[in-house]
Chain A
Amino acid sequence: MAKIIVEEINRFGHVAHFHQFDSLPIYIGRDYKNDVIISDPYVSPKHVMIHANDQGWDVEDLNSMNGVIIKNKLGRERKNFIRPGDEITIGRSRLRFFSPEYAVDKTRPMSHSRNLFKQLSHPLSTILIIILCLAFFISEEKLETTQQLTVLKTAINIFPFFSVAIIWAGLWALVGRVSRHQSLFLTHLIIILVFSVISKGLSNLGDYLSFNLFLEPYFSSYYFLTIGILLAWMLSINLYYGTNLSRRARLVSSSMAGIFLIVLISLNKVNYEGEFQSYPNYAPTLKPPFAKFTKDNTVDAFMEKSKVIFDIDIKKESPDESGQ
C-alpha cells in the first residue's frame, strides 16, 4: 500500500494529530529525523519503521528500549503485520494507521430521535419532570410522617436528595465535557430523577406484594436486587451520554457496579444473619382494605400451619458465652 495516514490518539481516545504520507517506509521516534516525531520520554529516538506490504504494513522494531505493542482489530494474521484500522502502542503513545480507502463511521445526527433522555432534557420538559418528581417525593414524604408537615419541613427533608441528584448530574456533565465535548447536565439530572422515582415505585410495589404474600423475609433481598439492577441500568445510560465507551465496555462496567453493590449488601446481610434479636423480626407493614387480595384463613388452619415454627433446632446454635 502506498499511501498511509497515521493518527496520534490522546488518552481520552480522541485523535490528536493526523500525518499523511505518500511513500513508504516511514520512521517513527523521538528525534527530529523521524517522519512522525513523538514527544514521549518512553519512546526511543528511532523506535519503529513501517514498511509497505500486500494488504497492509509491516512494523519493524528498530531495537527500541520499550518495544512495540500491536493491536490487530481483526486478530493477528502474522507477526508485526498491521492492516488499516489497526493500532500500535510505543512507549505511552497510541498510533493508528489507515489507508485513504478506509471507510469512516456514519455521520451522527445532531439529535437522536431515539434518544429519549436527551429529548426530555429540553428546559421546559426538564422543569415539568422536576415538578412531577417533587410532587412524587412530597407525597411519599407525607405518607411517612407522623406529624403535620409544614412546607419548610418538607423542603428540608427533600433537600438532601435533590442536592445528591444535582451533584451526580454535575459530575457526569464534567465527564461528558472532558470526553465528549458535551456536558448534557439536564439529561443526567433527568436520568437520576427518573430512576429514583422508579426505584421508589418498585419499593412501594414490593411493600404491597409482601403485605399480601408475607414475603417479609425476602423483602430486603428483593429491594437490594432492584436497587442493584436499577443502578447498573442508570450507570449504563450515564456512560452512554457521558463517555465514548463502546457498548460492551458500558454494559460491563455498569453491570459490574450493580453486581458489586448487590454483593456488598448481601455480604452485610450474611454478616447479620445469625445475630440474636431480642424482638421478633416481622414486617409491620399494613395496607388499607383495597390493597389486600389474599383470602382470609381460619384460625385452626393457621394454628396447624404454625406448628413448624416451634420446630427450632437448638443444637445448631450452641451457647458461645460462658459465665452468667
Chain B
Amino acid sequence: MLSKLHPIKLRSPISFCFLLIFFCNHTVFASNAIISQRDDAQKIFTNYKDRIYQIRVIEKKSNKKSSIGSGFVISGTGHIATNFHVVSAIVHSPENYYLEYLDQSSNKGPLTLLSVDVIHDLAIVKADLPTQDKLNFSKSNMDVGKKLFSMGNPHDLGLTIVEATYNGLLERSRYNKILLSGSLNPGMSGGPTLDRSGKVVGINVSTAGNQISFLVPVKYLEKLYKELETPENGNNDIDFHQQIESQLIIDQALFFTHMLNLNWEKDTLGDYELPGKINQQIKCWGESATDEDRIVDKSISQCSTEDSIFVSRNFTTGGLKYVFKQISNRNLSKLHFYQIYSQYFTNQITANRVSKRFVSNYSCQSDFLKIAKQSWKTTLCARRYKKYASLYDISFNMAEVSHDDKGMVFQLSIAGITQEMSDKLIKRFIEEIKWRKS
C-alpha cells in the first residue's frame, strides 16, 4: 500500500529518464497562470535551501552510503529533524552504520542520533554546525487546497522543491497524517513541507503513488523537540530500544483502550451478529461468492487498520485485522463439506510484516469453546518481540463446529500488543459475537 520514501539502494537509469521527461514536459507546457506560484517556489527555494541537508546512512565496512534521506535544521544549535525510518539502521545495527550529513555546498559532517518517535516516524539528530538560521514550525490551521512546497533530495538528484496541495488531516488513519497532493519521491523522506511563508507544516514521510503523499504533522516534531529540551532527557546515552518500546506500549494502550470503550458497530452475517467497523480507523471490505460452479457458498467480511508503524525495514507493527467467513454447504456430504470448510480455517492473514530477527516463532494453545451457544474450535497463538519483550503479535482463530451444513470462521490478527490488552480485546470480540436465532 504505502511505501516509505527513503531507502534508495540503487538508482535505476529508467527512473532517471522518467524524471527528466517529467521536467521537460513541465517546462514546455508551463502556462502564465502558474508563473506567480513558480515565483513562490523560487523564493522559498532560494531562502531556505541552506537549512536543508541530506542525511546519509553510511555502511562502516565499505564506507559507502547505504541509504539516504533528507533533514532540516530546527534549532540554532545544530538540531536536525528527519524521519525515523531514514535513520533506523543506526538504532538496530549501530555497529555497522554511522550517520553523516551533506549540505548544499557538499560539506560533510557526522551526525548523532538524539531522540526518536517511532509512532509518528520522526527522529532528531544533531550536527556540529555553526550557529545558523532554522526553519520555524507553523502553528496555524490550514484550509484544504492551500499551496505547499515540499523539499528534499529525490533519488539523490540534489535538492528539489515540489509544489503540492494540502488535502487535510487523514482522520481515518490510526497515525495522524496530512494528505498531500503532490509527488514525493524516495530520498525526500525527512524533508520539510513548507507553507508560502516558509514555515514547516509537516515532514515528508510516505507516498501511495500518483500524487498521493503523506506528511507527519509538525506538532509531533514540536513535541519531540520539547521533550528533548527538558533537562532529564538532555543526556546523550538514551537507549533507543527502550524509548521505542515505551512509545509502542503507550500507543497500543491508547488505541485499544479507546477501542474497548466504544460501542461497537454491529454487522450481521448468516446466523450471527458480529462486530463490524469498530472505529473510524478501521476499514471493512466484503466479498461473497455464490456462483454456480462453486461447491460451497461463502461470504467474507474483512476489516483492518490501514497504516502501520515502521520499526525497521523488516519489521512493521501496529496493525489490526479481523475476518469473518461464513461458509455454507450446497449439496456435499457433511464429511466433504467439513474438508472444504477446514481450508477456510488455515491462517493466511497477518497484521504486519516482520523478519525472524525481531520476533520469536508463534506458540499456540487450542481448545473447544462454547461461544454464542455454539461450539468453536479455537486456537490462540502469540509471538514475542525479541527487542520489545512486553509486546506480542497475536493470532486468534476460531471456527464453529456445531452444524453439519454451515460454519463460521473468525480470525483476528493484532500486531504489537501487550498480553493484558490482547486478553481484554479477545474477550471483547468474543462477547460481541452473538447468535441471532433464539
- Asked whether any CB of chain A lies closer than 8 Å to the CB of B249, the reply is no
Q: How far is the CB of A91 from chain B (nearest CB, A)?
A: 62
The tally of residues in B whose CB lies under 8 Å from a CB in A reads 69
- Asked whether any CB of chain A lies closer than 8 Å to the CB of B423, the reply is yes
Instruction: Let me know if A144 and B339 touch, CB within 8 A.
Output: yes
Known contacts A288-B404, A309-B363; decide if A324 and B384 are in contact (CB<8 Å): no
Instruction: Let me know if B401 and A280 touch, CB within 8 A.
Output: no
With a cutoff of 8 Å between Cβ atoms, the chain A residues found around residue B95 in the complex are: 322
Q: How far is the CB of A140 from chain B (nearest CB, A)?
A: 10
Stretch at the interface among A111-119, A127-135, A175-183, A289-297: A289-297
- Asked whether any CB of chain B lies closer than 8 Å to the CB of A271, the reply is no
- Asked whether any CB of chain B lies closer than 8 Å to the CB of A16, the reply is no
Instruction: Let me know if A297 and B369 touch, CB within 8 A.
Output: yes
Stretch at the interface among B72-80, B129-137, B346-354: B346-354
With a cutoff of 8 Å between Cβ atoms, the chain B residues found around residue A307 in the complex are: 419
- Asked whether any CB of chain B lies closer than 8 Å to the CB of A298, the reply is yes
- The answer for the CA separation of A303 and B2 in the assembled complex, in Å, is 35
With a cutoff of 8 Å between Cβ atoms, the chain A residues found around residue B397 in the complex are: 280, 282
Interface of A is mostly: loop
Instruction: Let me know if B423 and A303 touch, CB within 8 A.
Output: yes
With a cutoff of 8 Å between Cβ atoms, the chain B residues found around residue A305 in the complex are: 365, 367
Instruction: Let me know if A296 and B379 touch, CB within 8 A.
Output: no
Q: Which residue of A lies closest to B352 (CB)?
A: A278
Which of A297, A306, A322 has the most CB atoms of chain B within a 10 A radius of its CB?
A: A306
With a cutoff of 8 Å between Cβ atoms, the chain A residues found around residue B364 in the complex are: 280-282, 309
Instruction: Let me know if A292 and B401 touch, CB within 8 A.
Output: yes
Known contacts A286-B401, A292-B375; decide if A277 and B362 are in contact (CB<8 Å): yes
With a cutoff of 8 Å between Cβ atoms, the chain A residues found around residue B423 in the complex are: 303
With a cutoff of 8 Å between Cβ atoms, the chain B residues found around residue A299 in the complex are: 369, 371, 427, 430
**Interface members, chain A 247-297 (any B CB < 8 Å):** 274, 276-282, 284-290, 292, 294-297
With a cutoff of 8 Å between Cβ atoms, the chain A residues found around residue B419 in the complex are: 307, 310
Contact with B along A5-43 (1 / 0, CB 8 A): 000000000000000000000000000000000000000
Instruction: Let me know if B88 and A296 touch, CB within 8 A.
Output: no
Complex partner residue of A324 from B93, B348, B392, CB under 8 angstroms: B93
Contact with A along B18-31 (1 / 0, CB 8 A): 00000000000000
Contact with A along B367-391 (1 / 0, CB 8 A): 1111100010111111111100100
Instruction: Let me know if B347 and A146 touch, CB within 8 A.
Output: no
Q: How far is the CB of B370 from chain A (nearest CB, A)?
A: 4
- The answer for the CA separation of A76 and B403 in the assembled complex, in Å, is 73
- Asked whether any CB of chain B lies closer than 8 Å to the CB of A122, the reply is no
Complex partner residue of B361 from A146, A277, A282, CB under 8 angstroms: A277
With a cutoff of 8 Å between Cβ atoms, the chain B residues found around residue A324 in the complex are: 88-89, 92-93, 312-314
The tally of residues in A whose CB lies under 8 Å from a CB in B reads 48
Instruction: Let me know if B375 and A289 touch, CB within 8 A.
Output: yes
Complex partner residue of A214 from B335, B337, B343, B367, CB under 8 angstroms: B367
Q: Which residue of B lies closest to A308 (CB)?
A: B365
- The answer for the CA separation of A322 and B92 in the assembled complex, in Å, is 9
Instruction: Let me know if B338 and A286 touch, CB within 8 A.
Output: yes
Q: Which residue of A lies closest to B315 (CB)?
A: A324
- Asked whether any CB of chain B lies closer than 8 Å to the CB of A101, the reply is no
- Asked whether any CB of chain A lies closer than 8 Å to the CB of B322, the reply is no
- Asked whether any CB of chain B lies closer than 8 Å to the CB of A148, the reply is yes
- The answer for the CA separation of A281 and B95 in the assembled complex, in Å, is 34
Q: Which residue of B lies closest to A146 (CB)?
A: B340
- Asked whether any CB of chain B lies closer than 8 Å to the CB of A143, the reply is yes
Known contacts A148-B295, A286-B345, A305-B365; decide if A312 and B382 are in contact (CB<8 Å): yes
Stretch at the interface among A102-110, A189-197, A313-321: A313-321
Q: How far is the CB of B240 from chain A (nearest CB, A)?
A: 14
- Asked whether any CB of chain B lies closer than 8 Å to the CB of A323, the reply is yes
Known contacts A322-B96, A324-B92; decide if A280 and B295 are in contact (CB<8 Å): no
Q: Which residue of B lies closest to A213 (CB)?
A: B366
- The answer for the CA separation of A144 and B379 in the assembled complex, in Å, is 23
- The answer for the CA separation of A278 and B346 in the assembled complex, in Å, is 13
With a cutoff of 8 Å between Cβ atoms, the chain B residues found around residue A218 in the complex are: none
Instruction: Let me know if B426 and A310 touch, CB within 8 A.
Output: no
Which of B358, B362, B402 has the most CB atoms of chain A within a 10 A radius of its CB?
A: B362
Instruction: Let me know if B401 and A298 touch, CB within 8 A.
Output: no
Complex partner residue of A297 from B360, B367, B383, B403, CB under 8 angstroms: B367
- Asked whether any CB of chain B lies closer than 8 Å to the CB of A55, the reply is no
Q: How far is the CB of B388 from chain A (nearest CB, A)?
A: 10
Contact with B along A38-72 (1 / 0, CB 8 A): 00000000000000000000000000000000000
Instruction: Let me know if B93 and A287 touch, CB within 8 A.
Output: no
- Asked whether any CB of chain A lies closer than 8 Å to the CB of B336, the reply is yes
- The answer for the CA separation of A182 and B312 in the assembled complex, in Å, is 70
- Asked whether any CB of chain B lies closer than 8 Å to the CB of A216, the reply is yes
Task: Sort A-B residue pairs by CB-CB distance and give the 7 closest, nearest first.
Answer: A276-B356, A280-B381, A280-B362, A284-B345, A296-B370, A214-B366, A312-B384
A-B contact pairs, 11 of them (CB 8 A): A211-B377, A214-B367, A216-B366, A286-B399, A288-B401, A292-B375, A299-B430, A303-B427, A305-B365, A312-B360, A324-B313
Chain A interface residues toward B at CB < 8 A: 142-144, 146-148, 211, 214, 216, 274, 276-282, 284-290, 292, 294-299, 302-303, 305-310, 312, 314, 317, 319-324
- Given A286-B407, A288-B404: 6 more A-B contacts, CB < 8 Å: A143-B335, A279-B395, A287-B401, A288-B337, A309-B380, A310-B419
Chain B interface residues toward A at CB < 8 A: 88-89, 92-93, 95-96, 293, 295, 312-314, 334-343, 345-348, 350, 354-358, 360-371, 375, 377-386, 389, 392, 395, 397, 399, 401-404, 407, 419, 423, 426-427, 430
